Amino acid sequence: MLRTRAGQPIYVESPVTVMTTDATYLIGSPTFVWGDSSAFVRQDSRRDIAAVGVKLLNDSTAVPLPPLPSMRKPYMPIAVARGARLIAVWGTSTDTSLAGVFAQDTLWEATLIAGRWSTARPIWASGPFVWHPSAASYVADDASLSIVFPATRTDRGIAVMTRSRDRWRTRWIQIGRAGPTGVALMRLSQSELLLAAVGSIDRDGIRGLNASYVARMPINDSAPLPRFTLLHDVARMSAEDPSVFRTTDAIHVVWRLGGRQVPTADTLMEATSRDGGVSWTLMSTVSLEGDMRGLRVQPIAGRAALAMAIDVGDRSITSLARSREGWTITRGAFPDAKTIPMISTLHDRATVAFGRTRTSVGPGDPYDAPVLATSSRALRCEPISATSVRKRLRPPPRGKPTLQ
């Protein structure tokens, strides 16, 4: 459990790890810091709505960041390092109900300089958009930041925004019909992006209701808009949670096919390209054996990858390991999970972070309070003394059958 120097418990929901030249940060919302060093306070205690992360001092001690300069709840705060500075982007909504997560109206930017946030500036206010981990995506390098998200202007489409030299450039791609529900992004080169989207589409001769589709997109503002390639379409199931990643021999697009409208478990779908995203092959599918949300995929080494999703039925995390032989599923890898898992790689380790609850005593009766749970394993060699949680993340022994 994370604590302040004074011993106060800290909770950062499914955080993203960001390293600047002089510090490491965990960025996530909500972020809670409790006032009592021995127990959590009551659940209805006041907490700053714009608190979005901490600066790590070591593995268990952290300093809370100042709240973002936002008057409204920040949705999906992301951050990238620029030297010793931290650039944050987040969405807000005038809808204060739970439905606000599906309809933001303004995207903001601010920079953390010497422990203080700069004045927030709006970078998108051209129409309603969707900004949460299962819908939007981003990639960053030392010089630029690119973000994509489903949005609505006069029609449904995809907004692609790139930040370079403190300036944002926006390209609008009209999709038509009900539009995409989620978009994933990968950089193919310094001048080209790969977009992978799920949802409906009516353009480039493609018409689909629950489709998965991809396009190679030049970053140059004057380049023609991309043409999409259809990967898969199905009438009665919902395509959600797209991810795109690269291994040593191919580019992969993975998404979850939800079985909400028919009595069947969710399915992991995969398409691969061995020619840089020009042509695609639909691969064998894997049953997820449950009702999943928030599928996350992280490449780890060679042809390997690690995927995780939360089973909303039994509140555990399902883990999938990808090898040359295909995907191998591990059910209930982490029980008592309350949030979507976030997977990250740092140095030679893969780490998963998510929210759990534990019983705590406040001024009144005991109640369940949120805590941040993390577990990691070595990507190369792991000592025999690894914890049982880390062992659950280890790929299965060679020869174990995979679900095709």
Q: Structure pTM?
A: 0.87
Report the Cα 219 to chain-centroid distance in Å. 22
Of all residues in the chain, the percent with pLDDT exceeding 70 is 89
pLDDT score recorded for residue 376: 85
Give me the DSSP letters along 36-82.
Answer: -SSS---TTS---TT--EEEESSSSBEEEPPPPS-SSPPEEEEEEEE
pLDDT score recorded for residue 46: 60
CA distances from 98 to 75, 95, 102, 158 (A): 12, 8, 9, 23
Structure tokens at 218: 């030049």
| Residues β-bridged to residue 230 | 213
pLDDT score recorded for residue 401: 34
Q: Are 170 and 161 in contact (CB under 8 A)?
A: yes
Give the strands of the sheet with 304-311, arranged side by side: 292-301, 304-311, 316-323, 326-334
Question: Closest Cα to residue 25, out of 1, 55, 2?
Answer: 55
Residue 404 has pLDDT above 70, yes or no: no
What is the pLDDT averaged over residues 116-138? 95
> Distance between CA atoms of 351 and 26, rounded to whole angstroms?
12
Please report the domains of the chain, with CATH numbers, ordered by start residue.
86-393 (2.120.10.10)
Which of 63-72, 187-196, 354-363 is least confident? Answer: 354-363
Q: How confident is the model at residue 260 (pLDDT cuts 50, 70, 90)?
A: low
| SS3 of residue 393 by DSSP | helix
Which of 163-172, 260-269, 324-333 is least confident? Answer: 260-269
Tell me which of 264 and 131 has the higher pLDDT.
131
Query: Whose structure tokens read 């259809």?
Result: 230
